[in-house]
Amino acid sequence: MEEVQSSAVQMPAHPSLPAPPVAAAGQASGFVKFLKDSFAGTVGGVAVTLVGHPFDTVKVRLQTQPTTNPIYSGAIDCVRKTLQWEGVGGLYKGVTSPLAGQMFFRATLFSAFGASKRWLATNPDGSTRALTTADYYKAGFITGAAAAFTESPIDFYKSQIQVQMVRAKSDPAYKPAYTSVSECVKATLRTSGLRGPFQGLSATLLRNAPANAVYLGSFEVLKGRAASYYGCETKDLSAPVVMAAGGTGGILYWLAIFPVDVIKSAMMTDSIDPQQRRYPSIPAAARALWAEGGVSRFYRGFSPCIMRAAPANAVMLFTVDKVTHLLNE
């Protein structure tokens, strides 16, 4: 007897039965993709914090130290004095905020990036198309703007804690208003309410949207070019190739917007009391920083930042990429 495959049998729909929930299935599929992107981003957040936080501590301290009688002569001197005064733990000062926050932030970043790519790949009639090179940069721009609202409070609290040692060494009479992230949270909410954690949000938005367009867009495009060169799919690229694309993306991120990051750091390490701030807005911060040292003032802390960019982003983007592919298998 000839075997009939069940997949070839099509039963007519009964007129009294409702149509299959195609839309609901699509929504469920989209939600599953969102969860996968979020989980991959969370794992990536842990990786980038463990690798990159010491570099970030040095960057913030160099960016925010006083122009007159600076405490550190450069990145190496900052590392040496941090280890001398505070031990290895000093390089991880304020890590509580970014470790917990980076998990949440990176989950937001990569779920937003995944959603942006799916949205751009969907035609008005619901069909899908391949993404163009420009689409990857557009998706990165959208992602950066959306993720700024989660990254800004994390950066703010991290920066406030990191700069305590700089202030203490600059002024022997200085007494830290808070020595932990939880104390800083309470102080900012007490002083400025719910707006407190978003001190410096405008600068974060100005930095994040174009920077992530360059960062994530370049990562995806470089992977695509490498896959074409090696004649394989992007998921089959070797670890060194993916990490090279991630490290390059990280370097391009900072080359594109570093002066804006200096402005952001100045605003985020400013007084939490609005009446005592030196940098109440982006224009005010830019003018004040220019007066302190001209163009060079906007590149303070650039060396540790670039040194961090390649390894931290190579590890993070490889981790996210690998976890995403494993979850989709």
Sign, CA torsion 210/213/214/215: positive
pLDDT band, residue 283 (cuts 50/70/90): very high
User: In Å, how far from its chain's centre is CA 207?
Assistant: 11
The span from the CA of 137 to the CA of 44, in Å, is: 21
The span from the CA of 249 to the CA of 255, in Å, is: 10
pLDDT band, residue 308 (cuts 50/70/90): confident
pLDDT in tens, 12-52: 444 444 444 444 444 447 778 878 888 888 887 777 777 88
Residue 173, pLDDT > 50, answer: yes
The span from the CA of 67 to the CA of 291, in Å, is: 11
pLDDT in tens, 185-231: 999 999 999 999 999 999 999 999 999 999 999 999 999 999 999 99
Residue with the bigger pLDDT between 308 and 203: it is 203
What's residue 164's pLDDT?
A: 78
CA-based R_g, the chain, Å: 24
Residue 7, pLDDT > 80, answer: no
What's residue 87's pLDDT?
A: 87
Query: Tokens 């799919």 — which residue?
Result: 233
Other CB atoms within 10 A of residue 282 CB: 18
Residue 8, pLDDT > 50, answer: no
The span from the CA of 147 to the CA of 142, in Å, is: 9
Q: Which of 68, 90, 69, 70 is nearest to 79 (CA)?
A: 90
pLDDT band, residue 248 (cuts 50/70/90): very high
**Torsion over CA of 141, 59, 322 and 221, rounded to 10 degrees?**
40
The arithmetic mean of pLDDT across residues 247-252, rounded, is: 96
What's residue 70's pLDDT?
A: 86
Query: Which pTM value belongs to this model?
Result: 0.76
